[in-house]
Amino acid sequence: MTALPMTVRAPGLPERVRIHEVGPRDGLQNEASVVPTEVKAEFVHRLAGAGLDTVEATSFVHPRWVPQLADAEKLYPMLSGLPGVRLPVLVPNDRGLDRALALGAREVAVFASATESFARANLNRTVDASLAMFEPVAIRAVESGLRVRGYVSMCFGDPWEGAVPVGQVVEVCRRLVAMGCDELSLGDTIGVATPGHVGALLGALTEAGVPVSSIAVHFHDTYGQALSNTLAALQHGITTVDASAGGLGGCPYAKSATGNLATEDLVWMLDGLGIQTGVDLGRLIDTSVWMADQLGRPSPSRTVRALSHKE
Amino acid sequence: MTALPMTVRAPGLPERVRIHEVGPRDGLQNEASVVPTEVKAEFVHRLAGAGLDTVEATSFVHPRWVPQLADAEKLYPMLSGLPGVRLPVLVPNDRGLDRALALGAREVAVFASATESFARANLNRTVDASLAMFEPVAIRAVESGLRVRGYVSMCFGDPWEGAVPVGQVVEVCRRLVAMGCDELSLGDTIGVATPGHVGALLGALTEAGVPVSSIAVHFHDTYGQALSNTLAALQHGITTVDASAGGLGGCPYAKSATGNLATEDLVWMLDGLGIQTGVDLGRLIDTSVWMADQLGRPSPSRTVRALSHKE
């Protein structure tokens, strides 16, 4: 556990990156078996203890849709002893926002789609109708003093529609900003993006007046591209990167994998580049090994596997 | 099998990259069980059929050291029906070169180390003594009209020595160029490199007068960094990249993994960037799936797993 990357800075990259840890929400929501609330709470506490200052904690969706996160009301208060850690929660609609507000949440996120096909599949409505559903949620959240993050799925490719035009993504992003989102998370939901496409989308957003400081990237490793896409995003000024501890989130060996970028693989690169994150890689790996034990299967993160292997 | 990346070029990258496929040599030499010569021959033929124009075929080392490649004399003539495909072979010493010349090989490679510890472990001599051993081999190969590639192991980190000073790598590279190597392959043998370190080494080599066109990069995915390091190398003008079909080469799940960059993950990125390689990704994946069946275990390449999964 002593091997760590050598630090050699590269020109044009940020001094610091904020990692938006999505494991407890985006990772665990795809688990086949229900994880006990106490385990989830310990997971979030351990992640915070490893230095992650933003941990997406849970989702206030209807339990029918995501039974894995049906314990949000029980879990959220168990995280109150984490001062200084941002704990955003997903809210799909007005009812979800009510639940989040009742528990004192300070940050929420809505989950939009860049494509009609995925809006229909995931939200059962058109892109327009889904944005219309989110608008009063975002406005009321802002009025209540909350930060609002807008996820945008399928920003690069869509399994039904193929390549997603950059302009279509920009339009959804503009509308989310207009309704009060202070951060956008650009999702490569099926993992097909490559670095030139990343640069083109970020360039178009900047041109459309969306400040780069309000943009986060959310890459999936389905085709092994998440980290090189992240490097391209950093070179375009991005300073917020979504990742999932241990690569949690769906099965990495199936085509349908969500295959989130593993936080450890990201931290290895950022440590090597001398970019500050505040994360202690060793403690993070210990956390992912512990969580893998809870779930009964090894982490797909290469860094976790390399540094936790007992020889 | 129809999903392919969308092509969006990025500024400052090469138009074309030559992939130096190392699967049949670097990949298979670590296999626990011996692969039949006929399977190896079919593997090389299939790789060439997928459009790979440089396939490192085998190694003329003493069979005692690499029993997996003890059939080099039998295998090499089986590849004669591949016009236009470069088939370099590894030669460790004068005897190896004799064997390669006797079979009509047109390209050879020597395998140097940037560190004393690995030179001792792998070659049982000092860096100086190993270069002295390669020098007459390289000179005679050049006199015989052969191309000579010089591998340099442990260019970034070394398991015994930690971080490897850039100047130390440059010195070994200069000596390999001086003895007639027309190409150098910079190996991140334990996979610890990050993009800033890659840029620093390539910058130092250029400053030392080693032309970037004579440099290849050879990254390992032990910590998931191979593809982002490759992107950094392309941004520094590199146009030759080593990779192994299906990620063959050691167990990717052990700390000691060689964990070669998978050719498919590389081709996905290059296709997405609009960089020509001549490789047909679908045929390459079919080849790696076939080879995985021969070896009795799945490929660790994410692209192979994603595109070969039957749902």
What are the extents of the domains in chain A? Answer: 21-308
Assess A154–B contact: CB distance below 8 Å, yes or no.
Answer: no
- Residues contacting residue B222 through CB under 8 Å, at least 6 positions apart: A302, A306, B190, B191, B192, B252, B255, B257, B259
Number of other residues whose CB lies within 10 A of the CB of residue B22: 29
Closest CA to A90 of A140, A22, A171, A192: A22
For the ranges A22-31, B237-246, B277-286, which has the lowest average pLDDT? A22-31
Among residues 89-118 of chain B, which lie with CB inside 8 Å of chain A?
none
Higher pLDDT, B78 or B32: B78
Mutant choice from A156, A194, A281, A303 vs B, greatest count of B C-beta within 10 A:
A194
Smallest Cβ distance to A200: which of B8, B227, B311? Answer: B8
Q: Do B268 and A303 lie within an 8 Å CB cutoff?
A: no
Percent of chain B with pLDDT strictly greater than 70: 95
Q: What is the pLDDT of residue A83?
A: 86
Contact A196 B269 (CB under 8 A): no
Q: In which residue ranges of chain A is pLDDT below 50?
A: 1-2, 252-257, 311
Contact A273 B195 (CB under 8 A): yes
Q: Is the pLDDT of residue B258 over 90?
A: no
Which residues of B are less than 8 Å from A10 in CB distance? 195-196, 199, 232
Q: Does B182 touch chain A (CB under 8 A)?
A: no
Contacts of A159 in chain B (CB under 8 A): 3
B-chain residue closest to A298, CA distance? B253
Query: Which residue of A lies nearest to B259 if distances are taken between CA atoms?
Result: A302
Residue B290 pLDDT level (bands cut at 50, 70, 90): very high
pLDDT tens digits along B51-89: 999 999 999 999 888 899 999 999 999 999 898 999 999
Contact call for A197 and B227, based on CB within 8 A: no
- Residues in chain B with CB shorter than 8 Å from the CB of A253 are 298, 305, 309
Under DSSP, is residue B212 helix (H, G, I), strand (E, B) or coil?
helix
Nearest CB neighbour to B309, from listed A254, A271, A303: A254
Residues 13-52 of A with CB under 8 A from B: 13
Task: Kindly indicate the confidence band of residue B11, based on its pLDDT and cuts at 50, 70 and 90.
Answer: very high
Give exposure, B31-47, as e/b (b: 16+ Cβ within 10 Å).
Answer: eeeebebeebbbbbbbb
Identify all chain A residues contacting B10, using CB atoms and an 8 Å cutoff: 195-196, 199, 232
Decide if pLDDT at B252 tops 50: no
Is the per-residue pLDDT at B1 higher than 60? no
* Residues of chain B numbered 264-283 and touching chain A (CB < 8 Å): 265, 268-269, 271-274
- Categorize the per-residue pLDDT at B254 as very low, low, confident or very high, splitting at 50, 70 and 90: very low
Q: Kindly state the average pLDDT of the residues B223-241.
A: 98
Rounded to a whole number of angstroms, the distance from the CA of A113 to the nearest CA of chain B is: 19
Which of A17, A55, A20 is closest to A236 using CA atoms? A17
State the architecture of A21-308 in CATH terms: Alpha-Beta Barrel (3.20)
| Residue A194 with chain B: CB contacts under 8 Å | 5-6, 8, 268-269, 271-273
Please determine, for residue B195, whether its predicted confidence score (pLDDT) is greater than 80.
yes
Exposure string of A241-263, with b = 16+ CB inside 10 Å and e = fewer, is bbbbbbbbbbbbeebebbbbbbb
User: Tokens 């940037």 identify what position?
Assistant: B114
Residues B287-299, mean pLDDT to the nearest whole number: 94
Q: What is the CA radius of gyration of chain B?
A: 18
What's the confidence (pLDDT) of residue A258?
52
Q: Hey, what are A98's tokens?
A: 């009510």
Contacts of B281 in chain A (CB under 8 A): none
Catalytic positions of B:
251
Q: Is residue A36 within 8 Å of A300, Cβ to Cβ?
A: no
Q: Is the pLDDT of residue B256 over 90?
A: no
Q: Which of A10, A224, A302 sits opposite B195 (nearest CB)?
A: A10
Per-residue pLDDT, B3: 58
pLDDT above 90 as % of chain B: 87
